[in-house]
């Protein structure tokens, strides 16, 4: 779909083509762009024709064909004036044409991004779970979209310009002398063969580069999105190794592609110069035989020489188009459908909209088997629900509760049986239709980076502020909203407590008010009293509506509620609850602790994707200040900052020197050409031949052409290879620097995971041009200018001085244009980054998007962002087109002026025509070099933005908490000795909403080796913050944390994290096998598999793992493993490391009572018995768990207010008793 009424693009099988996103509505752009570019191309043959006419006039004047000097100069003035007029007209037409082509490219980008996002939103959830390397592929596809945009805009424009110029110049040359033109162009078939062969190689290696880059992007996405886990599990080194291997393979593919491109360009360059020699002899013969005039020969030669330049340009463009074709191929592969990807089944009546009131729900022999699972998750499930009472779905972890919810949302289709809602078979409904009458609220409710109002209003076209406020009151968010600076219009971040995020999810569901509501552990993080209040409100709200509550907790069940019990995927019982809650047996869990107040506190889980900015890293990130607009550095400043990352400096120096030599050879060749041409002029004027004849100059020209071809290939390959090595080193260094930052780094502007992945893997490619394009172009221009000045002393100062005087003017125009363009290019890239970040966030939260049926809303948001992007793109297109046009105009005016003055001096006999030809050709090449520099400015501007961001990263100081410490091994504390202590610790998050409010205040406690300690307290008391400080994820503002008798900053982080492990509340794993995830961050080469299995058995998870088809080698996903099972894998992952200290951060919150008992016994009995010197800290809300812990630390407002046993604290009047009074 497109925002410009371009029609809907087919969502069927995608064919790889540069025109894959083009529609009929683009035809006017193609036609107008083609016509204007052809008109602009007409300028070249017209100017060469005028050029030939001028030399005809000179020949006529020398032979006495004019009455006087005035008549000759009058004609020359007219002809040179026409060259300038043609140049001005060509500038205007070129400007318009480039603008049209760039807009056309933007339309392709807009359509590509819209279609990509639309397809992603329409995919089934199973497609996401089966898609390998989704995030890495997305990052690479974003780059491929930009390459298609470039190919469909300036590259197609240059191809049209080059091709039409070649045709028109060929026609011009044929008109002047068809026989001479045919002789000159005899090598055209060889050029075509070379382009075809090397073009295929370019396409092949561009595809390989894209594939390896996508794999590298996958590693980066994991490292940045899961930065907490990567640090806690010592996974930085392993990720760096994997990343380095992928970027090295990508660089290898790029190197081979560079060889193909450089070889093709050098061959075509040599052949385009060589035509001059073969044409010279034939032209000389035709002039001496009187069959051609000197003007005809000059016109043919000028046309063919310029034609050769255009051939080289077309060759370069074709290489870029081959890369664009490779990009199109990757996008097509990404958009391909498989058997599970189509959202709309062919048999669904798409125009049919069911009327659902949520009166009845029927399961008929429903079974479901996840792919690669040996046992079905649901078997022969049959039940009917036709009640307006709450229906609780209970069962132990992995029994199929969440699978049932997923089937109701039609995230998956049943393997067998059918589900019927209000007499509508769900097999005949689409997922989008189901989401309109069903709402799923999960435990990990997703909060987007929007205002609270926008978060709640998602999915509603019109909603008032009062409705949003009422929803907040319903979800007990009133005090939280009151604490926000801008109320419901305050921007949300992930720095929210779990309870607050869950209540936002509930408020969102309240506003949607669908006939069927599914609450999947939706209030598990809310305190007991608030949860009771919310369930009372839910019962009142959901009268005469169907509501399913998925839980393993019976404490919220009231009399007359229905209870559906699942066991191993089968229905164990389905009854109406009549037993009083007080008399529930031991197998039912009881509540969570009470929240003392509901104001904003950044006490999110340490594994939240949210990050905070604290004082310690503020000093380190002074260079990364949040300015509203990025201050782009100059090219030389970027190279200065990044100089130490350039490994192959010799290669760059040699490449630049060879590039300089190649640039100097060009005017030397022009000098030799002028010598050859002067022989033809001598023949036309019957002058005697010179001492050094045509044979000498022809042989010299051939030698120079061969040398130039070899030098051109070597210089371009060396610069491409060396610049790629530089980019690879930049990527590696940047990742190393980022790994040395604490988690606050990711909260800064330009430092979000999606932005960093795009910078390191996509934008870094633009940096190549700073070396391979900018430096070589500048050096060539300087060399040619100096050569022009030297030549002025040797050949005559007047004409050379006039010519070189244009160079400062062109440089001034170039610098001014570059500064303006850089601004627009940076703004444009920032907007592109926003779009890509939006896509990343939407895909990351796709389950919430689908559960609330928000696909259309997100597509609408993307459309708005694309409209903003397109507005900036139009300004960018205008100024980019101006740059191309100015280079054309400057060259034309300079050429006309130099030609006029040169002929004027020859006519006055102050110059010989030979000297005039030498200086004229030299200055023409100088102007061409200057215009080339101007034409490359758009690419250089993109490179400047990327270079600036890299420079800012590379200048960051390492975070002390992440890098400082002695690497030597320390004697571990013995049993009974102090293992960890907090002394006078203050800590505050300096985030957007948190201000500088202290989360921990003068916190002090100590724990001895072998102790089992619980840390308890109300939500917001600082428990998870304490865990994050123990894990060295952040630094405290004041005080000292000691481990093993030493300040943790004095201990090597790698050694420290080998001995201290944190088990998170929310389990997180990467796309890999169970074995790879369990052994992540440790050396598994000597790891005993039986020991791993024993740890899995201790956590009651080995039976599940063994049941999978590939056992430990099974690729881990959340399709066949419940959240409770994933939590047990997390605990097993910690045990495998055999640490000295384990922190369990609410690690039993997602487990059923049986597994809670197993893990509690493991913490309190099993591990202390097996490892007497292992220290265990359990952060918990569960009173049953507390009762089994020998020591409890009670936190309140960031301070330890009580310390004792469960029994003693229960008998004391204080915070602990107040918290547990209502739940014990």
Asked whether 273 and 1121 are in contact (CB, 8 A), the reply is no
Tell whether 192 and 85 lie within a shared domain: yes
Same domain, 336 and 377: no
Residue 614 belongs to some domain of the structure:
no
pLDDT attached to residue 500: 79
Alpha carbon distance 57, 75 (integer Å): 8
* DSSP annotation string for 567-631: ETTEEEEEEE--S-GGG--TTS----PPPS--S------TT-S-----HHHHHHTGGG---SS--
In a shared domain, residues 788 and 707:
yes
Q: Check residue 268 and give its pLDDT.
A: 84
Is 1123 inside a domain boundary?
no
CA Rg value for the chain: 37
- In a domain, residue 604? The reply is no
Residue 997: what pLDDT?
Answer: 65
| pLDDT of res. 548 | 92
Question: Quick one: 913 and 976 in the same domain?
Answer: no
Q: Which domain holds residue 1169?
A: 960-1065+1140-1220
Q: Which of 345, 178, 332, 187 lies closest to 272, judged by CA?
A: 187
Task: Give pLDDT, residue 932.
Answer: 64
Under a CB-based contact definition with an 8 Å cutoff, are residues 58 and 913 in contact? yes
Contact assessment for residue 1020 and residue 998, using Cβ atoms and an 8 Å cutoff: no
841 and 904 together in one domain = yes
Hunting for tokens 């987007």 — which residue is that?
448
Is residue 1113 situated within a structural domain? no
Q: What is the CATH number of the domain that holds 1176?
A: 3.40.50.300
- Are the CB atoms for 129 and 1119 separated by under 8 Å? yes
Residues 879 and 937: their CA atoms lie apart, in Å, by: 11
The angle formed by the CA atoms of residues 582, 588 and 590, to the nearest 5 degrees, is 65
Do the beta carbons of residue 214 and residue 136 sit within 8 Å?
yes
Please give the structure tokens belonging to residue 1143: 């922190």
Q: What angle separates helix 294-335 from helix 156-184, to the nearest 10 degrees?
A: 140
List pLDDT tens digits, range 1011-1029: 999 998 876 678 888 988 9
DSSP state of 1073: B
969 and 911 within one domain? no
Q: What is the pTM of this model?
A: 0.76
Please return the burial class of 1040, using the count of CB atoms within 10 Å of its CB with bins 0-12, 13-18 and 19+. middle
Q: What does the alpha-carbon distance between residue 745 and residue 759 come to, in Å, rounded to a whole number?
A: 15
371 occurs within a structural domain: yes
Q: Cα–Cα distance between 620 and 603 in angstroms, integer?
A: 24
Phi and psi angles of residue 471, each rounded to the nearest 5 degrees, phi first: -65, -40
Domain boundary among 583, 601, 618: 583
Q: Of 950, 978, 1012, which one is at a domain's C-terminal end? A: 950
State the pLDDT at residue 1011: 92
Residues 396 and 477 in one domain: yes
Do 264 and 375 lie in one domain? The reply is no
| Tokens at 21, concatenated | 């996103």
The CATH number of whichever domain residue 245 belongs to comes to 1.20.1560.10
Count the domains in the chain. Answer: 3
What is the length of the chain? 1224
Residues 754 and 701 placed together within one structural domain of the fold: yes
pLDDT of residue 242: 92
Instruction: State whether 678 and 529 are in the same domain.
Output: no
Say if residue 944 is in the same domain as residue 987.
no
CB atoms within 10 A of CB 959: 22
The Cα 918–Cα 924 span in angstroms is 10
- For the segment 603-656, what is each residue's pLDDT rounded down to a tens digit? 444 444 443 333 333 333 333 344 445 677 777 788 777 777 787 888 888 988
Residue 645 belongs to some domain of the structure: yes
Q: Supply 581's token pair.
A: 């809650």
- Residue 817: predicted pLDDT: 77
Q: How many helices (H) and strands (E) does the chain have?
A: 41, 20
Nearest residue to 412 via CA among 471, 367, 444? 367
Read off the pLDDT of residues 60-95 as tens digits, 9 standing for 90 and up.
887 778 888 888 888 889 998 998 898 888 888 888
Domain assignment of residue 1146, yes or no: yes
- What is the per-residue pLDDT for 693? 65
Q: In the chain, what is the straight-line distance between the N-terminal and C-terminal CA atoms, in Å?
A: 58
Rounded-to-integer distance, Cα 778 and Cα 925, Å: 14
Residues 327 and 268 in one domain: yes
Q: What is the pLDDT of residue 792?
A: 61
* Phi, psi angles (nearest 5°) of residue 1045: 85, 0
The residue ranges of the chain whose pLDDT is under 50 are 1-13, 338-350, 580-628, 691, 991-996, 1224
Domain assignment present for residue 594? The answer is: no
pLDDT value of position 1004: 93
């Amino acid at each position: 779909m497109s925002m410009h009424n371009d029609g809907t693009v087919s969502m069927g099988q995608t064919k790889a083509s540069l025109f894959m996103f083009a529609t009929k509505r683009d035809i006017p752009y193609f036609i107008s762009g083609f016509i204007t570019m052809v008109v602009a191309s007409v300028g070249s043959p017209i100017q060469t024709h005028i050029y030939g006419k001028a030399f005809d006039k000179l020949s006529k004047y020398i032979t006495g064909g004019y009455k006087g000097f005035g008549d000759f100069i009058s004609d020359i003035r007219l002809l040179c004036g026409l060259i300038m007029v043609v140049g001005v007209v060509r500038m205007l037409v070129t400007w318009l044409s480039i603008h049209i082509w760039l807009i056309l490219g933007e339309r392709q980008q807009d359509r590509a991004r819209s279609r990509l996002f639309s397809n992603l939103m329409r995919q089934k959830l199973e497609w996401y779970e089966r898609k390998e390397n989704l995030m890495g592929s997305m990052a690479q596809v974003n780059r491929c979209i930009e390459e298609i945009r470039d190919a469909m805009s300036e590259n197609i424009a240059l191809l049209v310009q080059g091709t039409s110029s070649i045709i028109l110049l060929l026609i011009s040359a044929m008109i002047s002398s068809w026989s001479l033109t045919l002789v000159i162009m005899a090598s055209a078939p060889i050029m075509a063969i070379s382009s075809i062969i090397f073009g295929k190689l370019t396409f092949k290696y561009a595809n390989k580069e894209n594939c390896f880059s996508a794999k590298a992007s996958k590693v980066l996405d994991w490292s940045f999105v899961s930065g907490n886990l990567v640090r806690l599990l010592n996974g930085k080194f392993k990720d760096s190794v994997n990343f380095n291997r992928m970027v090295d393979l990508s660089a290898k593919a790029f190197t081979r592609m560079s060889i193909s491109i450089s070889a093709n360009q050098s061959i075509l360059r040599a052949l385009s110069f060589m035509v001059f020699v073969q044409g010279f002899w034939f032209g000389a013969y035709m002039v001496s035989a009187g069959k051609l005039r000197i003007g005809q020969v000059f016109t043919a030669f000028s046309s063919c020489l310029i034609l050769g330049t255009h051939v080289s340009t077309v060759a370069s463009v074709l290489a870029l188009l081959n890369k664009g074709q490779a990009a199109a191929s990757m996008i097509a592969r990404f958009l391909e459908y498989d058997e599970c990807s189509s959202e709309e089944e062919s048999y669904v009546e798409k125009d049919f909209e069911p009327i659902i009131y949520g009166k009845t729900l029927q399961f008929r022999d429903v079974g479901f088997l996840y792919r690669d699972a040996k046992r079905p998750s649901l078997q022969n499930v049959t039940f009917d629900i036709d009640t307006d009472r709450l229906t609780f779905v209970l069962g132990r972890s992995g029994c199929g509760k969440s699978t049932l919810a997923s089937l109701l949302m039609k995230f998956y289709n049943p393997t067998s049986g059918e589900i019927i809602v209000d007499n509508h078979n769900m097999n005949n409904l689409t997922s989008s239709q189901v989401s309109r009458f069903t709402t799923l609220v999960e435990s990990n409710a997703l909060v987007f980076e929007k205002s609270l109002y926008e978060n709640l209003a998602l999915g509603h076209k019109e909603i008032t502020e009062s409705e949003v406020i009422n929803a907040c009151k319903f979800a007990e968010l009133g005090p939280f909203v009151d604490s926000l600076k801008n109320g419901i219009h305050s921007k949300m971040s992930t720095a929210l407590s779990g309870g607050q995020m869950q209540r936002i999810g509930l408020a969102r569901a309240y506003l949607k008010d669908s006939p069927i509501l599914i609450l999947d552990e939706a209030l598990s993080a809310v305190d007991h009293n608030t949860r009771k209040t919310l369930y009372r409100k839910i019962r009142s709200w959901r009268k005469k509506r169907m509501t399913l509550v998925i839980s393993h907790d019976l404490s919220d069940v009231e009399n007359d509620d229905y209870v559906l019990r699942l066991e191993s995927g089968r229905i164990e019982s389905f009854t109406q609850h009549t037993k009083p809650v007080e008399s529930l047996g031991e197998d039912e869990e009881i509540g969570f602790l009470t929240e003392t107040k509901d104001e904003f506190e950044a006490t999110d889980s340490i594994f939240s994707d949210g990050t905070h900015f604290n004082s310690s890293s503020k000093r380190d990130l002074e260079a990364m200040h949040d300015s509203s607009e990025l201050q782009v550095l100059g090219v030389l400043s970027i190279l200065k900052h990044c100089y130490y990352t350039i490994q192959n400096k010799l290669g760059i120096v040699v490449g630049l020197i060879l590039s300089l030599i190649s640039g100097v050879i060009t005017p030397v060749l022009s000098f030799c050409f002028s010598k050859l041409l002067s022989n033809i002029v001598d023949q036309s004027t019957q002058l005697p031949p010179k001492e050094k004849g045509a044979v000498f100059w022809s042989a010299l020209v051939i030698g120079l052409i061969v040398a130039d071809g070899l030098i051109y290939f070597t210089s371009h390959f060396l610069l491409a290879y060396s610049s790629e090595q530089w980019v690879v080193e930049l990527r590696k260094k940047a990742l190393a620097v980022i790994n040395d930052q604490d988690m606050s780094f990711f909260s800064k502007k330009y430092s979000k995971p999606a932005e960093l992945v795009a910078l390191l893997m996509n934008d870094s490619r633009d940096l190549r041009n700073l070396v391979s394009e900018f430096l070589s172009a500048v050096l060539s221009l300087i060399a040619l200018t100096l050569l022009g000045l030297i030549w002025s002393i040797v050949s005559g100062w007047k004409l050379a001085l006039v010519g070189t005087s244009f160079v400062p003017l062109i440089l001034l125009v170039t610098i001014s244009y570059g500064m303006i363009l850089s601004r627009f290019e940076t703004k444009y890239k920032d907007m592109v980054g926003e779009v890509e970040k939006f896509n990343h966030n939407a895909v990351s939260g796709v389950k919430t998007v689908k559960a609330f049926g928000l696909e259309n809303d997100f597509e609408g948001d993307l459309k708005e962002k694309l409209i903003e992007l397109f507005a900036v793109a139009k300004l960018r297109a205008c100024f980019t087109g101006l740059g191309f046009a100015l280079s054309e105009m400057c060259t034309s005016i300079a050429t006309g002026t130099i030609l006029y003055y040169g002929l004027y001096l020859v006519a006055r006999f102050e110059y010989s025509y030979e000297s005039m030809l030498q200086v004229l050709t030299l200055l023409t090449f100088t102007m061409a070099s200057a215009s080339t520099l101007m034409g490359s400015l758009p690419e250089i501007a993109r490179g400047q933005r990327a270079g600036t961001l890299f420079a800012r990263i590379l200048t960051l100081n390492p975070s002390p908490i992440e890098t400082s410490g002695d690497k030597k091994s320390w004697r571990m504390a013995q049993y009974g000795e102090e293992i960890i202590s907090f002394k006078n610790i203050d800590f505050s998050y300096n985030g957007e909403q948190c201000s500088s409010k202290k989360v921990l205040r003068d916190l002090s406690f100590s724990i001895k080796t072998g102790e089992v300690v619980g840390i308890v307290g109300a939500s917001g008391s600082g428990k998870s913050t304490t865990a994050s400080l123990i894990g060295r994820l952040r630094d405290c503002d004041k005080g000292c944390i000691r481990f093993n008798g030493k300040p943790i900053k004095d201990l090597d982080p790698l050694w420290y994290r080998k001995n201290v492990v944190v088990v998170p509340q929310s389990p997180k794993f990467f796309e890999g096998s169970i074995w790879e995830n369990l052994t992540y961050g440790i050396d598994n080469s000597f790891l005993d598999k039986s020991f791993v299995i024993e740890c899995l058995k201790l956590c009651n998870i080995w039976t599940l793992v063994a049941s999978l088809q590939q056992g430990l080698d099974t690729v881990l996903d959340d399709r066949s493993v419940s959240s409770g099972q994933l939590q047990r894998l997390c605990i097993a992952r910690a045990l495998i490391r055999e640490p000295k200290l384990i922190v369990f951060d609410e690690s039993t919150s997602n487990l059923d009572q049986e597994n809670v008992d197993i893990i509690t016994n493991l913490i309190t009995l099993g591990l202390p018995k097996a490892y007497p010197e292992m220290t265990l800290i359990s952060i918990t809300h569960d009173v049953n768990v507390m009762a089994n812990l020998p020591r409890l630390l009670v936190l309140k407002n960031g301070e330890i207010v009580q310390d004792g046993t469960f029994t003693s604290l229960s008998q004391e009047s204080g915070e602990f008793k107040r918290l547990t009074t209502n739940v014990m």
